[in-house]
């Protein structure tokens, strides 16, 4: 584990951390995490519920102190008497916050703006997150998506260099999610750095330049979404369910198949050449004395990467 110091901070890296560990009474929430987030990129922490994403991001935000490990944000460390300077430079949306119930959108944005020495205009910020029609609406009467966008506005109003978003679209309908994505994309296009957590693989694939897949407090894979999927060495995934149990030992060696695994009653094949693999599979199943009850193919996704790495699905819902 290499150490980071203020002097040796790699220029260009917005966030560097080494060996983060956070223990709670009965669980190790973060079990040794190293990250390098470059300036101007969107970096994602992808993992299931309870993986340690929130704990990690809140340690980086300086809201929780780690038991072990070192952090540099924009070349500076927390707790060295310059925290307020750092806070000026970052914007944060927590996983869930209920902001002052009876204040309106405009009043809340104005309040948060007043907390920063410099920042965006109130109107500009509200426009940025597309909440103009709701300016005078009290927080209590906003929908989930509008609340999330207001939280984003509060994160953006200080004109941050780094934006931290903890599950920014959890629980939102598709339209609301797309609007969030647009705002984040626009922020990034103007040179901002984003660190976000999510348990949606499509969100990670869509927004993130690079990501780290987290499980049980550890990074189990990292890279660009493309590279992570490419590591599966598969053009297609076949999932099928046989009508009856059959001897399936030979599946992985079928022509055109890279690997096979079994997951409660159905099989997942990572396939390089579908034209060879599919007929061979059908023949093998028939030979094994079973039929096909259900079969589907799809292009490999981050979900398949997670399933491959952990044997579990990313989402439990």
Partner 1 sequence: MTETRAALTEMTLARMKEFYREPGAVFWAFGFPVLLAVALGIAFRNRPPDPARVGVATASDVLWLQAALATPEIKVVLTGTPAEVEAAAREGKVDLVVSVAAGRALSYRYDADNSAGHLARLVVDNALQRAAGRLDALESADQTVHEPGSRYIDYLMPGIIGMNVMGSSMWGIGYTIVWERKKRLLKRLVATPMRRSSYLLSYLLSRLIFLIVEVAALLLFAYFVFDVTIQGSLFGVAVVALLGLLGFSGLSLLVASRVQSIEAVTGWMNLAMLPMWLLSGSFFSYERFPEIIHPLVRLLPLTAINDGLRAIMSRGAALSAVVPEMVVLALWAVLSFLVALKIFRWE
Minimum CB separation from partner 1 for residue 64, in Å? 8
Q: Give the footprint of partner 1 on residues 156-175 (CB under 8 A).
A: 158
239 contact choice in partner 1, ligand ADP, Mg ion, none (CB below 5 to 8 Å, kind-dependent):
none
51 contact choice in ligand ADP, Mg ion, partner 1, none (CB below 5 to 8 Å, kind-dependent):
ligand ADP
Question: At 225, phi and psi to the nearest 5?
Answer: -55, -40
State both tokens at 257. Answer: 């198949």
What is the spatial distance between Cα 75 and Cα 53, in angstroms, rounded to a whole number?
Answer: 22
Residue with smaller CB distance to partner 1, 71 or 219: 71
Give yes or no for residue 25 binding partner 1 (CB under 8 A): no
Residue with smaller CB distance to partner 1, 94 or 290: 94
Residue with smaller CB distance to partner 1, 118 or 190: 118
Q: Give the footprint of partner 1 on residues 97-116 (CB under 8 A).
A: 97-103, 107, 110-116
Give yes or no for residue 190 binding partner 1 (CB under 8 A): no
CA angle 92, 93, 96 (to 5 degrees): 145
Beta bridge partners of 18: 70
Minimum CB separation from ligand ADP for residue 166, in Å? 7
Q: Among residues 18, 22, 87, 147, which is the contact residue for partner 1, using CB under 8 A?
A: 87
Residue with smaller CB distance to Mg ion, 95 or 272: 95
Largest CA distance in the chain: 73
27 contact choice in ligand ADP, partner 1, Mg ion, none (CB below 5 to 8 Å, kind-dependent):
ligand ADP
Q: Which residues bind partner 1 (CB under 8 A)?
A: 61-64, 84-85, 87-88, 92, 94, 96-103, 107, 110-117, 121-122, 138, 154, 158
């Amino acid at each position: 584990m290499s150490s980071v110091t203020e002097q040796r901070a790699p220029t260009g890296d917005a966030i560097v951390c080494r060996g983060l560990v956070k223990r709670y009474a009965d669980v190790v929430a973060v079990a040794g995490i190293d990250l390098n987030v470059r300036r101007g990129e969107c970096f994602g922490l992808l993992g299931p519920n309870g993986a340690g994403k929130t704990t990690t991001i809140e340690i980086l935000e300086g809201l929780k102190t780690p038991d072990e490990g070192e952090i540099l944000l924009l070349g500076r460390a927390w707790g060295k008497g310059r925290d307020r300077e750092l806070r000026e430079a970052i914007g944060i949306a927590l996983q869930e916050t209920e902001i002052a119930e009876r204040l309106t959108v405009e009043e809340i944005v104005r309040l948060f703006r007043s907390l920063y020495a410099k920042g965006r205009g109130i109107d500009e910020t509200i426009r940025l997150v597309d909440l103009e029609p709701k300016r005078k609406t009290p927080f209590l009467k906003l929908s989930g998506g509008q609340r999330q966008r207001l939280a984003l506005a509060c994160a953006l109003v200080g004109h941050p260099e780094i934006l931290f978003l903890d599950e920014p679209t959890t629980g939102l309908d598709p339209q609301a999610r797309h609007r969030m994505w647009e705002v984040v994309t626009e922020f990034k296009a103007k040179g901002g750095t984003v660190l976000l957590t999510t348990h949606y693989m499509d969100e990670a694939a869509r927004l993130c330049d690079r990501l780290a897949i987290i499980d049980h407090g550890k990074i189990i894979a990292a890279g660009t979404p493309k590279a992570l999927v490419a590591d599966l060495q598969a053009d297609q995934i076949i999932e099928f369910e046989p009508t009856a149990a059959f001897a399936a030992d030979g599946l992985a060696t079928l022509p055109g198949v890279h690997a096979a695994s079994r997951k409660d009653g159905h099989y997942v094949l990572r396939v390089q050449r579908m034209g060879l693999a599919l007929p061979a599979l059908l023949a093998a199943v028939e030979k094994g004395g079973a039929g096909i009850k259900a079969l589907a193919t799809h292009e490999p996704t981050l979900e398949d990467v997670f399933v491959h790495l952990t044997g579990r699905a990313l989402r439990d819902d």
